[in-house]
Amino acid sequence: MQSNHIPLAERLRPRSLEEYIGQGHLVGKDGVFRRFIESNNVPSFILWGPPGVGKTTLASIIANSLERPFYTLSAINSGVKDVREIIDKAKKQRFFNTAPPFLFIDEIHRFNKSQQDSLLGAVEQGVITLIGATTENPSFEVISPLLSRCQVYVLKAMDENELQILLDRALTTDAELKTRGIEVVETNALFRFSGGDARKLLNILDIMAGAFEGSFTINDKTVTDSLQQNIAIYDKNGEMHYDVISAFIKSVRGSDPNAAVYYLARMLEGGEDPKFIARRLVILAAEDIGLANPNALLLANACFDTVHKIGMPEARIPLSEAAIYLATSPKSNSAYMAIDAALAHVRRDTNNRPVPLHIRNAPTTLMKSLNYGKDYRYAHSFEGNFTEQEFLPEGLEGTRFYAPGDNPQERTISERMEKWWKGKYGG
């Protein structure tokens, strides 16, 4: 067994953009972060992406490359006092024409309004350059004045090619692993358990290195067995967090209220932010229940607002109510599928098809002379508030993006569509 040592993820932490794996859209040849370093002109920004994709590392690389002070805070255990202390320190070290230090705040979405307000003045005056990191959509939890002063950059989970590069680097460059005679036979389980998370992959390698003496083989069985035998270690590092939220969402989607409440309890007992759970329920209500029960989104939104207002421990009750309601609701992803189908069509259809003349607005005499709005039929002027006319551009007539789901609510919608459009959107 291994003795205590620096974790592999820390031993392999990149020190420069050249060592950094992934996020080519940001750190590639023409990437914005390379331009930041070249110009020494870095605005405040927020890095938004899943865990283990290098948010902290990227912030550190930029600060080190520009040789600026780099202060770090975690939103989990820092408050307004900590923020003000760093701002005061930055003000005292401020000299004419010198670039401001960086303040990196991990999990910035967990800062409340007053904590975020305490940052505003320093960011506006250029006392600090703020770098926030979050796994959550910043527009949900970062206050508008602060968000408007920060660029937001989206980081993506690692794909298999990038995970393979990371694995190869770990086995060939790490001083400890490269002496162990590790043979890689299969990577399916390793990459699956990693889930695009670099830190998780390296933690799994650490667990395996500790489970075997000398050389060992990486295959699907050895990876699975090592994780099952060392699940406590795996969980202690917080890596199970995203597995539990995944199980929660899939239990609700799969209409199992008992499993949903069980995973909800695990998250709450583990100290999960109840607003994080409430946000997931709002997304789930739209994505998975959708038009089968439109009230689900209303209830999920009400739960989200209530959780914001009352906090824990009482927030557990509306969260439970919403989770059970969504789990026991009929399911449909038809709205989700419809918008994705329409977006996919728009992205590949480069014709920029003109809007039919009869449904264009005609606020000027010139537009009217060009037949804008001519022959448009105002639906409310017809029986049943419907009259058949073409709304899609030429060449897309009859294209169907929305397919009603097989549930009572959408069967009614389907019947209505058939009555109105007489098979035009059938199939």
**256-297 residue pLDDT tens:** 999 999 999 988 887 788 988 999 999 999 999 999 999 999
Residue 113 has pLDDT above 90, yes or no: no
Band the pLDDT of 123: cuts 50, 70, 90. very high
Helix (H, G, I), strand (E, B) or coil at 60: helix
Minimum mean pLDDT range among 25-29, 145-149, 266-270: 266-270
Name the helix (H) or strand (E) containing 251.
Answer: helix 241-253
Band the pLDDT of 76: cuts 50, 70, 90. confident
pLDDT at 339: 93
Band the pLDDT of 165: cuts 50, 70, 90. very high
DSSP lists the bridge partners of residue 104 as: 72, 131
Band the pLDDT of 427: cuts 50, 70, 90. low
Between 97 and 381, the higher pLDDT residue:
381
CB 195 within 8 A of CB 242: yes
pLDDT at 230: 58
Residue 340 has pLDDT above 80, yes or no: yes
Residue 103 has pLDDT above 90, yes or no: yes
Average pLDDT for 131-151: 88
Residue 378 has pLDDT above 60, yes or no: yes
CB 56 within 8 A of CB 131: no
Model confidence pLDDT, tens digit, residues 189-246 = 899 888 888 988 998 998 888 888 889 999 999 998 888 765 544 444 444 566 788 8
How far apart CA 291 and CA 149 sit, in angstroms, is 37
Average pLDDT, the chain: 88
How far apart CA 270 and CA 244 sit, in angstroms, is 10
At 152, phi and psi to the nearest 5? Answer: -115, 125
pLDDT at 1: 41
pLDDT at 232: 44
